Structure 1
Amino acid sequence: MKKFGLLGQKLSYSFSPVIHGVIFEYLKLDATYSLIEREPELLDQKAFHDIMAVYDGINVTIPYKSHIMPFLDEIDPAAARIGAVNTVVKRDGRLIGYNTDYFGALASLKALPYSEATGAILLGTGGSSKAVMQCLKALEIEPIYQVSRTPETNIVGENIRQLDYEMLATMDISGCLLVNCTPVGMETYEYASPVPKAVVGRQSSVFDLIYVPAVTTLLAYANEENVPHQNGLDMLMIQAVEAEKLWLSMPDLQQDQMLSHLKDSISI
């Protein structure tokens, strides 16, 4: 039996075991998928390697997508450019890091009217936001306003500007694709929104990476303001399929077919 899992700090919300369970059943694969919760102070290199001694491959989520990179033997060039790893593959005794978030985020952004956007507002600076940043660049959406509680500098690169949330609320930025890469809006945050309704109403579309709840306060604001929007479930399912392709060495596994099966089998 093969063993896979998800490494993170708080994972009670995760839908990943259900998704991977459906994939295993579809492929008739004898495998399990577990939640691996660890506190940051307990996840050093030795602890990580102890985990990988038990598992054939893992996914990685908040707050470890960058944290575990120094513990790996090799990092896929695309993941290195992103600066975050969400999938670890064990191959010939070596631990190799990949980023499959990129594929899920890109497909989700393309499902929105992204070409109408006059720019992008990216909330958060964690591992997921790094993948989304590369997607925004690939789609040539600019300028990009990256928003965090403590921006390090005002301008960080060509057509990229860092703001704090107060600046975003007071500036007249409109017509953008707004992407939430923070955990604000999850049930543990009592359905809060990372930005006010007025900010949402000025934008062209909204993508919230959160999928539990399916409709966050941010997406409810978008719905009330008739702004096209999408949650993070498709992204989660697509990145899961891409991770399975890596773990199982099945590059020909059809993403569209598998995604359709997942949507038929899963609801939130």
Structure 2
Amino acid sequence: MRLFLIGYPLGHSMSPFIHGLFLNQIERKGTYELKELSPDHFDEHITILKQSNFDGFNITIPYKVDILPFLDAIDPQAKAIGAVNTVVIQDGHWTGYNTDGQGYVQSLKYHYPHLFHASSRLLILGAGGASRGIVHALNDQCCASITISNRTVEKAAAIIESLPKKKTYHAISFSEAEATLDQFDAIINTTSLGMEPHVKTQAIHLDRIKQGAVVSDIVYKPFNTALLTEAKLKGAHIHHGHEMLVYQAALAFKLWTGHDVDVRPVIQAFEEKLKQS
């Protein structure tokens, strides 16, 4: 089995480690390569890959939307999200899926099932591809309202417009989020702020955080981001980004192989590796 990841940059990626453990679980030989594609030549690179002999691949920042025109088919949920992070290749036919949102919801629900109560109010930071996937997945869960905060409020509003209207939604700026933080039961960072090498950055500060709130960050390296470090100091519950990565990877792996895998030992091994780095 031949798999790969495209994105730019990819120096931080731990996907080969994760998928290597999955391959070991099902006792299948295979490779998972990193293909760092320059934005200046993205179209050329994809055209070449179209002629290669692979079984599937993942897509990360900044190509989850750019890949869409090159696909032969798109899963309805991924089409609704408007972004793809997984492609299955069969007989040269590329089909796109999005496992980000589902993976995130599974990882959050494992630790904090109370957030999926009908009265919960969630704040999403960021309005990029990861945000779209997570918001669409949360839309199918029971919570009272979802607020999307972004530097450009129009981008947050565009995500809301793409959703079936099942809940109360709001689009606000980062400054508005900071000012109303005590209204939310969970704050979920979907931006890349805090990722290496810009480890001191964060979208908002948590001075007004509600007691008992959960702070979740999809950035997994560093293990304790600036946002999670502040959350700990404020006494909040925290949720690390590496778990989402493993859960969404397991969903992608099943699309490629048809096999379910046990994510818990992989999460533990991944966490140990992150703490050592």
TM-score, normalised by the number of residues in structure 1: 0.89
The answer (yes or no) to whether the contact 1:178–1:206 under 8 Å persists in 2 is yes
The C-alpha deviation readout for 1:177-234, integer Å capped at 9, x for no partner, is: 2110001111221332221131445672111101111111111122122211111111
Secondary structure of residue in 1 paired with 2:207: helix
Deviation at 1:153, TM superposition (A): 7.3
Query: Does 1:43 pair with 2:45?
Result: no
Pick from 252, 260, 275 the counterpart of residue 254 of structure 1: 260
Secondary structure of residue in 1 paired with 2:153: coil
Across the aligned residues of Structure 1 and Structure 2, the Cα RMSD in angstroms comes to 2.1
Contiguous gaps of at least 5 residues in structure 1: none
Cα distance in 1 between the residues matched to 2:155 and 2:201:
27
The answer (yes or no) to whether the contact 1:69–1:84 under 8 Å persists in 2 is yes
Pick from 221, 240, 248 the counterpart of residue 231 of structure 1: 240
Letter of the 1:265 counterpart: A
Deviation at 1:264, TM superposition (A): 4.5
Contiguous gaps of at least 5 residues in structure 2: none
1:212 aligns with 221
Letter of the 1:262 counterpart: V
The C-alpha deviation readout for 1:92-114, integer Å capped at 9, x for no partner, is: 22100011112211112212231
Secondary structure of residue in 1 paired with 2:201: coil
Query: Does 1:82 pair with 2:84?
Result: no
Q: How many residues align?
A: 261
Letter of the 2:62 counterpart: P
Cα distance in 1 between the residues matched to 2:232 and 2:120:
20
Cα distance in 1 between the residues matched to 2:156 and 2:248:
32
1:71 aligns with 70
Cα distance in 2 between the residues matched to 1:148 and 1:177:
16
Deviation at 1:163, TM superposition (A): 1.5
Query: Does 1:133 pair with 2:139?
Result: no
Deviation at 1:244, TM superposition (A): 1.4
Matches within 5 A, 1:118-197: 118-152=120-154, 156-157=160-161, 159-171=168-180, 173-197=182-206
Secondary structure of residue in 1 paired with 2:197: helix
Distance verdict in 2 for CA 1:227–1:245, change over 3 Å:
same
The answer (yes or no) to whether the contact 1:200–1:221 under 8 Å persists in 2 is no
Query: Does 1:265 pair with 2:265?
Result: no
